[in-house]
Amino acid sequence: MKIEIMNLSKKYGSLYALQNVNLTLGQGRIVGLLGPNGSGKTTLIKLLNGLIQPTQGQILMDGQKPGVYSKSKISYLPDKTYLNSQMTVEQLVDLFGDFYADFNFSKADDLLKRLNIPVQQKLKTLSKGTQEKVQLALVMSREAEAYILDEPIGGVDPVGRDYILQTIISQYNRNATVIISTHLISDVENVLDDVIMIKNGGIFLYDSVENIREREGKSIDEMFKEVMRWY
Amino acid sequence: MWQMDSNRPIYIQLVERIIKEIIAGKYQPGEKMPTVRELAEIARVNPNTMQKAFSQLEQKGMLYTDRTVGRYVTQDQAKIREKGKQLARQLGEKFLADMRALGLTEDEIMEVLKTLMSGDKA
Amino acid sequence: MVLKLIKHEFKYLGRYLLLIWAGMILMIVSQRLLTELRESQNTIWQLVSGTAFGLLFFTLAAMFLVTFGAIVMRFYQNMFSGEGYLTFTLPVKASQIVFSKLFTGAVFMLVPLLIAGLVLVSYIRAPETWYLLYSGFIEFMAESDLPIYVLVIWGLSIVLAPVLQLLEFYTAMSLGQLANRNKIIFSIIAYIGIYVAKQFLGVIIWLSLLMGNYVEKIEMYPFQVVKYASIIGFVTTISLIVINWLIVNYLCKNKLNLE
């Protein structure tokens, strides 16, 4: 999926959460969206998902504004529990499969099995870490054209984190764009193709991990920390 | 998960590691390599990066592509041995440079080496 | 897509309410049976029957309230809590989401209505009573000269009343979610505001009608007043439904404030 962001701004009252953002994301790239809290990351993600409307500018996904079509092509993992915990894992698989034509049932079964998730149990009976794995499994079971993962490794232990990254790599589809928003940069660096660094509602860097490492001789994590000090 | 330096491009490090493994015999001459995706998963890196590493390895003549079947380690054993010698020489040079920087003489360096190697046998 | 949404609403609410309804229906049936004791000579049984009547009324009312509450809570949770992140990223239009919930809610509200109706009807024993009711009805229609459509309007108003009530709650919650904190409190405030506005609107309409050229009509045949009142009431209900619908859709589409 080609994602074009043009002169995008979002204002809340008199405050700009995002100001004049211009970006074009190509297909098949795994992109890191890096920035501190309040930088506009969440706003950008909500705009991409059509949860809020821009104040100015526009987003085009394969030439269309966020809407029913783009939602059918984007698989979104929010950074909170967003599933009805009264439902069983099986029922949730059923729900996803019903609404998303690109949902792959066998992939879902496989992922859930590998993650040792008891599918007949209600979500609320599972530990928080397991719930997050369920959410990730459902999102990654879709053969989507774009994946937007908001802090996918945030509340998980290191073993779980590693597993999640492995899942992201193994489900990688060269036609799909993957956007990973995170502040745990060092954990995901090796998986990223490109990084977008955002602060105070503006993009101040969009480059490939390779270029940055060659140019700066530093890890993205180190570079990010340094640059953040200056802004 | 492969250990990697965070301040150098990843694909370069992947190339280095795979060459080492070929030299060490982990991948035999003419053997079929795992797919880009399989190896990327094991190494925990972006498949695009692994793809680039594979391309580099092809350029260097360490791997070759057999149409759509996959990638294979070169049959050219001489080339592998040559590469191995190159690498050994580089490691040796670094070892000597480090030892000399500590102020050791040539004889002292030989002593260290001898002790280490007999220590291995014991 | 709407059908899929409706299916899931039915599944989820149904699972939850069916159990509660089962329990309540059991209570209602036993209370209804106990009221039969009113025929008894024994004072104790008469007392029991009297209490049963009270409980029956209470349980029927509770059935309405519980059903309504469940529908409203489901709406809030599924739209404006964390679940909103799923609901609003499904490949469906916001209007389809709201409609599916409204439709399911309206259908579910018919159940307590049906039960109440059945209980009422169960008190009519003799077939003569039915005939009496029927002939009384025919007489009423002849005397009042009310056109059939007024009856249709009355029937529709009964069905649409819960729809409007649900929508008003939906509007209140859609307004309440605009707040960043204490969304529920703001929803309550919004509902109070809607209630007050509605009363105010009602007063204005009636005052303007009375003060207008229609004063003479008060002296006309009383059933004419009933006819016009029914029509006005119906039109008002439909207009309010439309207004609330538009507000809810606008807010969900453009002013979604998920946290």
For A85, nearest residue in chain C (alpha carbons): C83
Chains adjacent to B (≥3 CB pairs closer than 8 angstroms): A
Whether residues C99 and C152 share a domain: the answer is: no
C55 and C105 in a single domain? The answer is yes
C112 and C135 in a common domain? no
Residue C258: its chain A contacts at CB < 8 A? 46, 51
Query: Can you list the alpha helix ranges (DSSP code H) found in chain C?
Result: 2-34, 43-80, 84-87, 94-122, 127-144, 148-176, 183-211, 222-254
Same domain, C83 and C136: no
Q: List the domain range (segments joined by +) for residue A194.
A: 3-230
ipTM for the assembly = 0.91
A167, burial (CB in 10 Å: exposed 0-12, middle 13-18, buried 19+) = buried
Total structural domains within chain C:
2
Count of the separate structural domains present in chain A = 1
Sequence ranges of the domains in chain B: 10-75, 78-121
Same domain as C254, residue C139: yes
Q: Does domain B10-75 fall into CATH 3.40.50.2300?
A: no
Based on the domain organization, do C169 and C49 belong to the same domain?
Answer: no
Report the chain A residue with the minimal C-alpha distance to residue C16: A86
Q: Does A172 touch chain B (CB under 8 A)?
A: yes
| DSSP bridge pairs for A103 | A142
Those residues with Cβ within 8 angstroms of residue C115's Cβ, 6 or more apart along the chain or in another chain:
C25, C28, C60, C63
Strands ordered across the beta sheet of A194-199: A74-77, A146-150, A177-182, A30-34, A194-199, A202-208
Examine the domain organization and report whether C114 and C17 are in the same domain: yes
CA-angle at C247, arms to C242 and C251, nearest 5°: 150
CB atoms C92 and A99 under 8 Å: yes
**CATH code: domain of residue A165:** 3.40.50.300
CA nearest to B18, candidates B95, B91, B74:
B74
What's residue C220's pLDDT?
A: 61
> Each residue's pLDDT tens digit in chain A (231 positions)?
889 999 999 998 889 999 999 999 988 889 999 988 888 999 999 999 999 999 999 999 999 999 999 999 999 999 888 999 999 999 999 999 999 999 999 999 988 988 889 989 999 999 888 898 899 899 999 999 999 999 988 777 777 788 888 888 887 777 889 999 988 888 888 899 999 999 889 998 999 998 998 888 888 888 888 887 876
- How many whole angstroms separate alpha carbon C138 and alpha carbon B109? 120
The domain in which residue C235 lies consists of: 126-259
Q: How far is A149 from chain C (nearest CA, A)?
A: 13
Measured distance CA(A1)–CA(A63) in Å, rounded: 10
Domain boundary pick from C89, C123, C157: C123
